[in-house]
Structure formats: structure tokens, C-alpha cells
Homo-oligomer: A and B are copies of this chain.
């Protein structure tokens, strides 16, 4: 009978740099990046991938690699993969590409990952005005479980998933992206909320030749120069899928991706051992290298059949996802709430981002009462299997967002108690977490009494 072993179509050698791999990686979206392999529908195949930084972050006790990481180089993706049907006919623009995740995991021999807070001047994170310093936690894996020497007393099964999976954009779609993001970058300050303006995170990540890697397009050529100047950054999720960071996209899930170019040319990367909803610290999942075992199906004409444009062109669509049936079965959740009133006491109108920020800050402050530093909890909530929900979005002026944390990940009972035993010395768990000093200035809006560092 036929050998059922999945065929390895993108191998990774961890001793080599992203640009030295046998099938070179890429870190931009562009229709002209050539596919590196072809798969047939129904075929089970295996793709390996580096971690999103391509090995720049080390398993050590220093956060300086985080502080000085060159963000122009991320994320390193495997692919593009061209998909053809049983008769060899390629996926076509207008089709849907259904990708099933049959299996996935860390690369054998590389069973560790990292979670980090980026420096305020280098990308920052959701709470960068509270946590401006570069910080890092290393995680080790024991099969399905992760534990960290930097955040003792927690251990949890990972819901492992790829942070990024997406098809190549057409030139038309790429132009739409570049235009709208450039407009935000240029005009954003006018309409932005004050609290956002105050920090120095970039409003958008526009194309740049710096750090650009374009797979098999040779660097230095005219083609490379042109492509690099057009190619979209991989940071945000967009119409092609991309950096969606859907934390439950694990074994048994199916992703229905719109096809914009001949062959679909999908790429994937940014493997997460585990992530919390929101991935709040930015480099917030447990980032690692890894592998995917996939199977594809083409739904001919599926874009028109199943997707409806949500904007001025037929390209303004989004992928659809089917979540797999295998997950940890948590029994108890502790839920923190936030409303759209910010830390200065200012009322915002039905702003779910502000509400979620407050919910996360509430959870950080609460858990820091159990022997952790706030930075430890911020890192933990970025990567543990916690759920971030939009609970109410209609009751003006307050959006209500909630953050639900499974209590079983802690080795102590973290629920509020009427007759609480005194918190003993064993619960002081503030180890020397890797951290780099922040050299900038804290924003004036911060309220040190409430959630200062």
C-alpha cells in the first residue's frame, strides 16, 4: 500500500540562518516571491519553520537580544507553497484554499521557546506605557506542557498553533494594503485617541528594503529592489490571513483562505507553543521553531460562494476558520473585567481596546498578589491559554471586555477567599527575570498609584 508518512516539503536546518536554508525563507508578502514547492490536494505534507526571529533570541538569562532585535527582519516564513488539484490544475484567484492542520509541534531537538516584552522604543506591546522595558522569559517543554524557570509555579498544556498562515496577495490587493496603511501612518495622529499618541509605537509597518528577505529572488537585483519596495510587512493580519494569532488554531483545525494568485502560494510561520487571546506583550506567545503537517483542498469558486467583500472591492474579504476538537479541558476560570474607562479615569465610547487593556491590567494586579512581579504576570497572560472576550459592545458608553484565566495552571489556589491563609515565603517568586533598563521617559498619563511599575 501507499506509504502514509507525510512528505517533508520544506526542511529546516536550525544551524543555518534563515537566508541559508535549502529552500530560502521570506519575510514579506508579495505576489512575485516564487513558490518553493508544489503540493497536490489530499496529499499529507510537512513544513518546518524557524521561530519568527529566525534564531535571534537565545536560551539565556539576558534580555538584550530582545532589546536590540531588528524588527525589520521578522517574521521569517516557510513557503510559498503552490497548490494543484488531482489533475495538476493550480488553485486560481477566486477559489478558496482549505488547509487542514493534521499535526504540529516543536522541531525535535529544539523543545523550548520564549516570551518577551519589547522595549518601548522598539515595538513595545499592548501595555507599553506600563511596561517599557525589554524583558524575556524562557519556556521549556515536557511534551504537551510548558514551564519556565523565570515564572515558577505555573505549568500548562499548550494549544500549539501557527501564528501566521496566509496566501500570497495579488498586486491589486497589495496596493490596497500599502495605500491604506500609508494613510494611517501619515494622517493617523489627527484621529487617534490621546493615550495611543503618547507612546512611540509605530502606527503602521510600511514596506522597507531594510531587513527584507524575498525567498528565491536574489538580493541586489533590480527585481529584488522593486519587490522589496512594494512587499507588505508580515506584522498585521490582513485579507490573506497572515498574522491572525488565533490561539485555538491547533490540531484538527481547518483554515479557508481566499486565493488571490495562481497556485494560492501560501506561506506559514511564527509557530506558537501557546498563546493567550490578544498576545498582549507583542512577542507574547511562547515563540518557537516547529513543524506543521497539512492537507489541502481547493474549493473552486469558493470566494464568491462563501465570502462577501467587506469594503470597496471584491478583495476586501477575510478567511474563515474551523477550530479542531482536541483541547485541554479546563474546569474553572477566573474572569477579570474591564470597561472603557482608562487608567486616568477618562471615559471612552464603546472602545473594546481600552476595555480589554483595563481587564488585562486588572488581572496583572490581581495575580501579582500571589508572589509574582507584574512583569511576570504580563508575560504569563500573553502566553498561557487565557481567553479574551468582548462581552458587551453596545451599552454606551462602556464596552465590557473580559479576560478569563484557567485556574489549573497555577500550583496554588488563586481564587479570592474569605479565610485566606497568610501568603508565606514560598510564594515570593520574584526571581531574576531577564530585563533591560528602559532609557526613555514614562508618559505623563500614567497613574503610578494604580499600576505603576
> What are 20 inter-chain pairs, A to B, with CB distance below 8 A?
A4-B141, A5-B109, A6-B143, A103-B142, A142-B295, A144-B251, A180-B341, A180-B347, A191-B193, A203-B396, A237-B337, A279-B395, A297-B418, A299-B416, A302-B418, A306-B366, A311-B447, A316-B450, A318-B336, A323-B335
From B110, B239, B396, contact of A235 by CB (8 A): B396
Judging by beta carbons under 8 Å apart, are B450 and A308 in contact?
Answer: yes
Given contacts A157-B324, A180-B341, A236-B395, 18 further A-B contacts (CB under 8 A): A4-B111, A4-B142, A98-B416, A102-B142, A180-B346, A204-B397, A235-B395, A236-B398, A246-B337, A247-B391, A277-B390, A282-B395, A312-B449, A318-B359, A323-B335, A325-B408, A331-B332, A390-B390
Are A188 and B349 closer than 8 Å at their CB atoms? yes
Q: Are B1 and A398 in contact (CB under 8 A)?
A: no
**Contact A325 to B330, CB < 8 A, known contacts A180-B341, A311-B341:** yes
CB-CB under 8 A from A333, the residues of chain B are 322-323
Which residues in chain A, 161-219, are within 8 Å of chain B measured between CB atoms?
Answer: 176, 180-181, 183-184, 188, 191-194, 196, 201-205
Interface residue ranges of A316-360 to B (CB < 8 Å): 316-339, 341-353, 356, 358-359
Asked if A280 lies at the interface with its beta carbon under 8 angstroms from chain B, I say: yes
- Chain A contact residue count (CB 8 A cutoff): 155
Q: Is the CB of A245 within 8 A of B343?
A: no
Compute how far the CA of A42 lies from the CA of B408 in the bound complex, rounded to whole angstroms: 21
Which B residues are in CB contact (< 8 Å) with A317? 362
> What's the number of copies of this chain in the assembled complex?
4
User: Which B residues lie within 8 Å of A284 (CB)?
Assistant: 394
* B322→A332 contact, CB < 8 A: yes
**Which stretch, A32-40, A221-229, A399-407, A424-432, touches the partner chain B?**
A399-407
Which of B320, B332, B394 is close to A279, meaning CB atoms less than 8 Å apart?
Answer: B394
Closest 4 CB pairs of A and B: A103-B143, A102-B143, A308-B365, A236-B398
CB-nearest residue of chain B relative to A60? B1
A179 CB to closest chain B CB (Å) equals 9
Q: Judge if A96 is at the interface, Cβ distance under 8 Å.
A: yes
Cβ B256 vs Cβ A416 within 8 A: yes
Q: How far is the CA of A75 from the CA of B369 in the complex (A)?
A: 36
CA distance A6 to B142 in the complex (A): 8
Task: Find chain B residues with CB under 8 A from A336 CB.
Answer: 318, 320-321
Pair B145/A252 contact, Cβ less than 8 Å: yes
Report A368-389 residues with CB < 8 Å from chain B CB.
369, 387-389
Q: In the complex, what residues of B have CB within 8 A of residue A188's CB?
A: 349
In whole angstroms, how far apart are the Cα atoms of A203 and B350 in the complex?
A: 9
Complex Cα spacing A112 to B5, Å? 8
Query: With A and B bound together, what is the CA distance between A61 and B1 in angstroms?
Result: 9
Are A332 and B325 in contact (CB-based, < 8 A)?
A: yes
